[in-house]
Structures are given as C-alpha cells and as structure tokens.
A = this chain, B = another copy of it.
C-alpha cells in the first residue's frame, strides 16, 4: 500500500522507516529520505497515497495540514482513510474528522507512546479512536510501527486515553516528589518510606517504575541525572492538552492544572529536556533561614 506520510520529525522518521521495512511505500510532503517520493504540499502528497498518515507537533499544525491552503483536504480522494498519530486536542481531532467527513474522507486519531526509542524499534503503544471498520483498515500499518495497538472508541478517544493517562501520571510525579521532599525535610529515610507507600493507598506506577528521588531505584531516570525517558516539555504539553480538553468540555480540573503549571515552570527553569521525574529537582525547598 502507498502511504502519504506527513511529518518526518524525530518520531515520524523512524516510524516511516518501519513502514517501508514492512513493505509499505510512501510519498512525503518534504525533503525525502529512505526511498520515499516527495510532494510539493500535503494536498499533493495526500493525492498520491492510498492512505494518509500524519504525525505533527501541535493541534495547529494538524489543522493546517488537513484544512489549510494546500492541505490534505484539498488533495485527498473521497473514501480514503487518514490516520493522525500526533498528540493533540481531542476536540481538534473531532473537528478535523467532521470536516473530512463532509467530503467522504475517513479519519482516526492514533497517538503513540514509547518515544523515539519505541518509534525506532517499532514497539510503540498506539491508542486509536475511530470507527471499528476504520480501525481494522488502519491496523496493518499501525502494526508496522507498534506492538500494542488498542481501539479505545470513536474519533478523539485515542487522544483522550493518552491525555487522561498522562494527566494522572503527571500529577503523580509531582505528588510523589512533594511527598518525598517533605519526608526528606523531616529526616525520614526515602527507602523506608518507599517501602511503606508501596503497600498502601499511595502506590503508583510512577513511584514503582520511575522513582523521582535519586538513590532508590537504579533503573529510574533519577539515577542517570534525569536523562529521558519522557521529557518535562512533553509532559507540560500533554497536561496542557488535557487541561484544554477539560476547558472545552467545562470540566473542572484543579490538580491537573496545578501540575501543568509546575511542569511549565520546571521547563522554564531549565529542566525541559530532562525526564519529567526531574520535577523532584524543581521542587527543592527554600533555605533554612527563610522565615515561616
């Protein structure tokens, strides 16, 4: 199958490589690598493909690539399937899908997790939102790029699943960091505290699999100077999308909003490209002489 592939960044490029390895062919919308053809615009690329795959940095990029001047909507044939693998607002996914549907074009959202490592190894987790038939049609291409492909629900549901998961994980990284900063200030041994919490109601994947405090879990980012892993900047982005999705649907989200701003500040204070567990570093206390 020939694919129009839009978005050959850090993630898109190795994902494309896996598609080509598995026998797909592709037309790209810009400077070409790896034996794929080149088009002048998303519209032209879309016209050349039997299926369209996009993976772009932001909601605005996705809207522009699909609906803007020279965009996919101008070139894609009725009946085609578009797979957007970007992490964006689910509301944007639904709006783009609705505009495409007016012209008989189908759309699924299929954001990924697993990072550049997973993209290269072809082991991404992919959460998919769309009609059952469209999911089935997308599956072979997704199988070329990932190993854990889940059909979550209708269009937008893939984004919702990713953002909701990261909302909880992002809040948990901050909460765990706050808890251990308090414990440290009172002189409590973080290893003993870890053992206590692990068996109680505070147990989380975050503490178990990527403990933010250095010196506890040899495998965690904290023990390699917070080399990512999942970057603070991406956690800030995903929490921002979650909070914005909540805004669009009038859902109050106080903890997610607080966590979002903490990652934004941690990014602004130099931790953007560190693992998101470095929020523990950001949450250092004031010096002892500060009045309380």
Contacts and interface: CB of A to CB of B under 8 A. Distances in A.
A45 to B, nearest CB: 21
Nearest to A73: B69
B252 A113 contact: no
Given A165-B196, A186-B245, A252-B285, 10 more contacts: A69-B99, A160-B193, A164-B183, A164-B197, A168-B172, A181-B251, A182-B249, A236-B286, A257-B257, A267-B290
A187 B252 contact: no
Contacts of A252: 178, 181, 261, 264-265, 268, 283, 285
A260 to B, nearest CB: 7
Nearest to A103: B69
Count of chain copies: 4
Given A290-B233, A291-B57, A292-B237, A172 B174 contact: no
B233 A182 contact: no
A77 interface: no
Interface footprint category on A: 35 or more
Contacts of A141: none
Contact of A259 (B127, B234, B236, B254): B254
Contact of A250 (B172, B174, B259, B285): B285
Given A204-B203, A256-B178, A290 B165 contact: no
